[in-house]
Structure 1
Amino acid sequence: MEEACINEALTDDELRWILSKLESDKDKDIFGLVCKRWLHLQSTERRKLSARAGPHMLLKMASRFSRLHQLDLSQSLSRSFYPGVTDSDLAVIAHGFKSLRVLNLHNCKGITDNGMASIGSGLPSLQSLDVSYCRKLTDKGLSAVAEGCHDLRSLYLSGCRFVTDEILQGLAKNCRSLEKLCLNGCINITDSGLVDIVNGCRRISFLDINKCNNVGDIGVSSVAKTCSSSLKTLKLLDCYKVGDASILSLAKFCKNLETLVIGGCRDISDESVKSFAVACKNSLKILRMDWCLNISDSSLSCIFTQCRNLEALDIGCCEVVTDAAFQNLVNSEIESRLKILKVSNCPRITVSGIGMLLDKFKSLEYLDVRACPNITKMGCDEAGLVFPEYCKVNFSGSLCEPDVLV
């Protein structure tokens, strides 16, 4: 009986089905080594690619990976001396990768508005763009993206210091499906821009305006009211104009908020934090409020007793907080899910306070007690404190910090 060749017996669709069942990238690459036909199928079915390549290589990649959805050309900080992708590269990408949905150009410092114009005109199906720390970009280039990529869902602009409220107006007009927006360090963004963006983009679930120090209560309150049903993450690190009015608005409208960063917002007081804790007691998972100098024991006690699903908390440099913040834990039936707790630079918290929380925080994985003069490893040992089995205690700064609170 004559044996059938597998290439004669199986159609392209059947081979694609086999390829789809391979879970690891390594196995998929081995699949492509069988013959030219299998290599072609493996290449055209590939959806993700990370690379570092110039225009000629990008042309070859576009020809081979014709149905690519995700392309990562980001630069690491260790290669900060290298400009990475250039405008001419972006022209090749816009022409060759027509199916592209996700493009990561993080830290590619060589690109300019001309490159963004190519992306805007050539990739109408783009849904996610990361141009964080591409410091030459301005409203002009990014507006071209907004005008050409109407299906944009995520846009990351951290460190793009030249952008202003103008780009937010463009996004509000053209990208109504926007869900994630990162403006970390965009110092020219104001309340007016935030009002504009949420009036047009009402599905925003993730908003990072860390270090946008021209943003205040008007802008944040507008975000809270307009995106009340969708907002899950809000980051306001060092937005020193943000005060109680913002937090009270979040408490009133955003009952499903999961992550809130208000570190460095020094005008926020106990009144608004307690209202927020009660309002978001079932949803809140991550709360960062280091350097909130008006926060006291009453806020912390309320957070611990109300927010049963809280997983990470940073109260570093809240200098008036004392052991009394943990007192209500002693006789309560609270079963906390807290995994990360940072109390660094809290001079009034002692070993006794740490002992109180250890009885309830059985899931604790990381505890930061740096620069707490009344808490030392020797003192904890002498008090007989027993930390959870997998808990790392940072006494001196020698441990790597979790990035969940960044």
Structure 2
Amino acid sequence: MVPCEDYLVSMIDLPDDSLHIIFHKLESCTDRNAFGLTCWRWLQIQNLARGSLQFKCSHRSSISDNVRYLSRLLGRFQQLNSISLAGCTELPDSALTQLRSSGSNLRTLFLDCCFGITDNGLSLVFAGCPALVSVSLYRCNVTDVGLEILAKSCPTLERVNLSYCTLLSDHGIGALSRECLKLRAMTISYCRGITGTGFRGCSPTLAYLEADSCLLTPDGLLGAVSGGGLQYLNVSSLRCWAGGDGLASIGAGFAKNLCFLNLRLCRFVGNESVGTIAKGCPVLEEWNLALCHEVRVSGWEAIGSNCHNLKVLHVNRCRNLCDHGLRALQDGCHQLAVLYMHGCRRVTWVGLESFRMRRWGVKVRGEENVSVGPSLDQFFL
């Protein structure tokens, strides 16, 4: 009979695959951190298992010290699929050279507020990491040249955040629209150089567009919805709009899948646009019309008659919402669950109480500045 000791296997004899499984079974951060202290081999297993890195520059250290420290971390963790350098305001282009070592593994990259990064640095990353799916360049100094490189290098790109990238124009947006046929979400809020015409002919996969406080034109807005796949659209606070009551293009047949629409502070929006959108967006679930003063009785009637799936409606401080308009909402919108209403001076106490008694299941709330729909991460869960 063979002694049982002969069947015992030392932990150091376990293959790497088994050690990887053991490491991923560890639930506490303390245990995971202690794993690599056992021996050099276990440290290598721990390093290879690291999937994400959030690097924060030390303001007490020099730029060169931060670059060296980042280089050491990237050299140590070579299987990263997500890297965040957000807030590293003084990081130079040279710091991005090491990112290329992640190559085909890198899927997500955050460079928010990296003011020292230029198109040259970005080209190094984009060309060396073709599998990028999500890129955030919030407040970066990227230009159309950088976007063209991104579009040609990363055709599988799905999400991009370009908020406050003031050097961009429709030329760069057009490159993304043509080359990235899997693009699902884009944020261009406060990009005053973008009119929207670059979206013309965009992929039907584009489902999420955040364009708060932009300078979209009527043709640009039509281009933004031309793909036909939009489910979330935020064009609140449109600046320098010269199209009159010209948002009817949203409901002209391209946005039949639209579920969330934010028109807050679009004061020029009137009955024509509201009526067309109400009829042309049959699955609309949430609509923000706060501070849209030109919507009058016929507009509210169109919403009540056609928005059969509407669950949440924002009408804060709409000057021309009166008892008659509120009654139209009361008699229609049978799925309505929440009505954000504050500062509507033409709605009387009697009109409001009548609405509450007849639609007792609807929560009437007074909060303002409530965001429309889910966040970007929640939207794609």
Flag the 1:336–1:202 CA change in 2: closer, same or farther, 3 A.
closer
**Distance in 2 between residues matched to 1:142 and 1:92, nearest whole Å:** 21
Residue 204 (structure 1) aligned with residue 197 (structure 2)? no
Name the amino acid aligned to 1:48: S
Name the amino acid aligned to 2:303: I
- Name 1:194's counterpart in structure 2: 199
Helix, strand or coil: the match of 1:252? coil
- Name 2:62's counterpart in structure 1: none
Counting only pairs closer than 5 Å after superposition, residues 7-22 of structure 1 correspond to structure 2 as 7-8=11-12, 10-21=14-25
Flag the 1:46–1:403 CA change in 2: closer, same or farther, 3 A.
farther
- Name 1:378's counterpart in structure 2: none
- Name 2:70's counterpart in structure 1: 58
Comparing 4-13 and 289-298, the one that deviates more: 4-13
**Distance in 2 between residues matched to 1:48 and 1:101, nearest whole Å:** 10
Helix, strand or coil: the match of 2:146? helix
Residue 143 (structure 1) aligned with residue 143 (structure 2)? no
**Cα displacement (A) at 1:67:** 1.4
- Name 2:115's counterpart in structure 1: 109
CA contact (8 A) 2:82 2:108 kept: yes
**Distance in 2 between residues matched to 1:50 and 1:60, nearest whole Å:** 14
- Work out which of the residue numbers 39, 46, 51 in structure 1 matches 2:50: 46
Name the amino acid aligned to 2:342: S
The CA RMSD over aligned residues, in Å, is: 3.1
Residue 231 (structure 1) aligned with residue 230 (structure 2)? yes
**Cα displacement (A) at 1:261:** 1.6
Flag the 1:355–1:56 CA change in 2: closer, same or farther, 3 A.
farther
Flag the 1:332–1:154 CA change in 2: closer, same or farther, 3 A.
closer
Residue by residue, what CA displacement relative to the aligned partner does 1:88-121 show, whole Å, maximum 9, x if unpaired? Answer: 2222223455511110112222222222222222
**Cα displacement (A) at 1:330:** 5.7
Counting only pairs closer than 5 Å after superposition, residues 225-304 of structure 1 correspond to structure 2 as 226-228=226-228, 230-239=229-238, 240-241=241-242, 244-281=245-282, 283-303=283-303
- Work out which of the residue numbers 337, 340, 343 in structure 1 matches 2:341: 343
Flag the 1:57–1:5 CA change in 2: closer, same or farther, 3 A.
farther
**Distance in 1 between residues matched to 2:38 and 2:309, nearest whole Å:** 51
Residue 120 (structure 1) aligned with residue 122 (structure 2)? no
CA contact (8 A) 1:147 1:174 kept: yes
Flag the 1:244–1:20 CA change in 2: closer, same or farther, 3 A.
farther
Helix, strand or coil: the match of 2:365? strand
Name the amino acid aligned to 2:41: R
Flag the 1:269–1:24 CA change in 2: closer, same or farther, 3 A.
farther
- Name 1:160's counterpart in structure 2: 165
Name the amino acid aligned to 2:247: S
TM-score between the two structures when normalised by the length of structure 1: 0.76
Name the amino acid aligned to 2:68: H
**Distance in 2 between residues matched to 1:233 and 1:337, nearest whole Å:** 19
Work out the number of aligned pairs and report it. Answer: 359
Flag the 1:404–1:361 CA change in 2: closer, same or farther, 3 A.
farther
**Distance in 1 between residues matched to 2:179 and 2:329, nearest whole Å:** 50
Comparing 313-322 and 18-27, the one that deviates more: 18-27
- Name 2:63's counterpart in structure 1: none
- Where does the alignment leave 5 or more consecutive residues of structure 2 unmatched? 58-65, 376-381
CA contact (8 A) 1:221 1:245 kept: no
Helix, strand or coil: the match of 1:177? coil
- Name 1:371's counterpart in structure 2: none
Residue by residue, what CA displacement relative to the aligned partner does 1:244-303 show, whole Å, maximum 9, x if unpaired? Answer: 55334435232210111222333322233133224434x323322223221124433543
CA contact (8 A) 1:285 1:310 kept: yes
**Distance in 1 between residues matched to 2:344 and 2:333, nearest whole Å:** 26
Name the amino acid aligned to 2:126: G
**Distance in 2 between residues matched to 1:287 and 1:177, nearest whole Å:** 27
CA contact (8 A) 1:241 1:265 kept: no
Name the amino acid aligned to 1:208: E
Name the amino acid aligned to 1:50: Q
TM-score between the two structures when normalised by the length of structure 2: 0.81
Name the amino acid aligned to 1:218: D
**Cα displacement (A) at 1:180:** 1.5
Residue by residue, what CA displacement relative to the aligned partner does 1:115-173 show, whole Å, maximum 9, x if unpaired? Answer: 22222222211121111112x32222332222322222211111111111221232234
CA contact (8 A) 1:116 1:142 kept: no
Flag the 1:6–1:367 CA change in 2: closer, same or farther, 3 A.
farther
**Cα displacement (A) at 1:209:** 2.4
Name the amino acid aligned to 1:66: Q
Helix, strand or coil: the match of 2:105? coil
